[in-house]
Structure 1
Amino acid sequence: MTRKIVPVGPVLLGIWFTIALVISASGLLYEVPAPVMGAINGLLITVSLLTIYFVQPIRSWVMNLDLRWLILYHFVRFVGIAFLVLHAQGIIPSEFAIIAGWGDVAVAVTAIATVGFALPITTVPRWWMVLLWNLFGLTDILYVLKTGIGLGLNNPEQMIWITTFPFSLLPTFIVPLIIVTHILIFIRLWQLRLPLRTHDLLASQ
């Protein structure tokens, strides 16, 4: 009987999510200052990338993961709809809700188009389509983070909602993984450069 090997990556993701869920639901993050929430984001991103780089089984799993799944994760950014609804209810400031709401929805919608029209990446135009989407998505999330931290510094009451459950899952799991997947997509695109060039050169002969 062959022993079934459980992929380490999904297990660690499950553990990470469980820990984030417990901490968020416990209320431990309530009223944590915006700079600290930003630092939590940065720490989780750094730990994730270092783990991928130094732990071979995880690196192997990530580098062989279908690019489609890295992009499909960004469907989670339809959470932008919730931002717009909460803004209409007066819970979230417009300075954050408009940028994060419409920006995230746009990234999620274009992720659908990217998966449908650019994958698998077999031509240079498809490669560029994925690259441009990834640049757009990363720029959006970084600007949202900057805006949120800035608002929290100027008036902590404006961003206190993000320290309440379930929104506290954003800085403890959802957003760090968004940024990590963007970085991984860039790495995968870099790896595809030479094979694509070789493929196109042979196809033109």
Structure 2
Amino acid sequence: MSIDVLASIVLTAGAAIVLSGMAVGFGEDTRSRVRIAGWLGLWFVLVAAMAAGGWLTYPHGLGTPGLGVAVCLPVIVMAGMVYGMPSLRRALRHVPLSLLVALHGVRVLGVFFLILHAAGRLPAPFAPLAGWGDVLAGAAAVPLAWLVRRSERAARPLVWCWNGFGMLDLVLAVALGAVSAPGPLQLIDAAPGTSLMTGLPWLLVPAFLVPLLAALHLAVFYRLSTGEQTPPPRWREGGNPARTGHVG
């Protein structure tokens, strides 16, 4: 089995974990969870189609600017939806902080960057920095989520540090990928370049997983900045915290 086929399977599984986790965490009831999962699933299919069609492959596709839009636009859209939809704002205040952290466990899949670099298919410094950063952030996510679940207040300083590191890793990886790719923004001319990331299955990382993970980091920052503890889960039983007498 080739590394590309294996990555297709594993990255799809990782995307499904994050997708389903966000749907369960942010959905107030079954209908809203299905709706969230449906929209995220449609986005996944669109990214896969873009990769298969070479839409972002330079010089025939949109290249680095197009990839930048694919990375940043979803984060902006999700932030706008949270701002404009009271139900999502309410969900953000009540979704378990431990879940927001635990979903980053999929970032251990950054090991694929290290494998591709060893095979001569991705350049330094992009692949080693992005790969090790993701592996470290992902490896720390699950035990940290466990600590948060045991004592959210005590774990908050660690969550601040981890969340800052994880967000910085994503920003650095995107920036290094952009300046290492052929095109008008290229500053690092290191063979073989990062054009590989615009095809299947690798586009799933920058155009799907990275925006979702960045949005989760922003959600964690929001929760930490408010100082609110995760409330009891009773509010989900009726789909409306007002019905249970608990209002965040």
Whether 1:56 aligns to 2:82 is no
Tell me, yes or no, if the aligned pair for 2:105 and 2:140 is still in contact at 8 Å.
no
- What is residue 47 of structure 2 aligned with on the other side? 20
SS at match of 1:24: helix
The number of residues matched between the two structures is 192
Tell me, yes or no, if the aligned pair for 1:45 and 1:179 is still in contact at 8 Å.
yes
Note the 1:23-172 alignment, pairs <5 A. 23-31=50-58, 32-123=62-153, 125-152=154-181, 153-154=186-187, 155=189, 158-172=193-207
Whether 1:183 aligns to 2:209 is no
Tell me, yes or no, if the aligned pair for 1:44 and 1:176 is still in contact at 8 Å.
yes
Tell me, yes or no, if the aligned pair for 1:34 and 1:159 is still in contact at 8 Å.
no
Q: Which amino acid aligns with 1:111?
A: A
Shift of 1:56: 2.6
Tell me, yes or no, if the aligned pair for 2:56 and 2:198 is still in contact at 8 Å.
yes
Shift of 1:5: 3.3
Shift of 1:73: 2.0
Alignment deviations for residues 108-154 of structure 1 (CA, whole Å, 9 cap, x no partner): 0111221122325443x311111111011011111111111121213
Whether 1:174 aligns to 2:209 is yes
Alignment deviations for residues 88-122 of structure 1 (CA, whole Å, 9 cap, x no partner): 11000021111011111000011122112232544
Tell me, yes or no, if the aligned pair for 2:107 and 2:134 is still in contact at 8 Å.
yes
Shift of 1:174: 0.8
> Could you state the TM-score of these two structures normalised by the residue count of structure 2?
0.69
Q: Give the Cα–Cα distance (whole angstroms) in 1 for the partners of residues 49 and 63 of structure 2.
A: 20
Whether 1:10 aligns to 2:10 is no
Q: Would you tell me which structure has more helix in proportion to its own residues?
A: 1
- For structure 1, the residue ranges without an aligned partner over 5 or more in a row are 197-205
Q: Which amino acid aligns with 1:102?
A: W
Shift of 1:29: 2.5
Distance 1:38 1:19, change over 3 A: same
Alignment deviations for residues 58-86 of structure 1 (CA, whole Å, 9 cap, x no partner): 33333322222221221221221101111
- For structure 2, the residue ranges without an aligned partner over 5 or more in a row are 1-28, 231-248
Q: Which amino acid aligns with 2:178?
A: I
Considering only aligned residues, what root-mean-square deviation do their CA atoms show, in Å?
2.3
Moved more, 179-188 or 76-85: 76-85
SS at match of 2:120: coil
Q: Give the Cα–Cα distance (whole angstroms) in 2 for the partners of residues 36 and 13 of structure 1.
A: 20
- What is residue 200 of structure 1 aligned with on the other side? none
Distance 1:12 1:120, change over 3 A: farther
Identity fraction in percent: 28
Extract structure 1 runs of 4+ deviating beyond 6 A: none
> Could you state the TM-score of these two structures normalised by the residue count of structure 1?
0.83
SS at match of 2:121: coil
SS at match of 2:161: helix
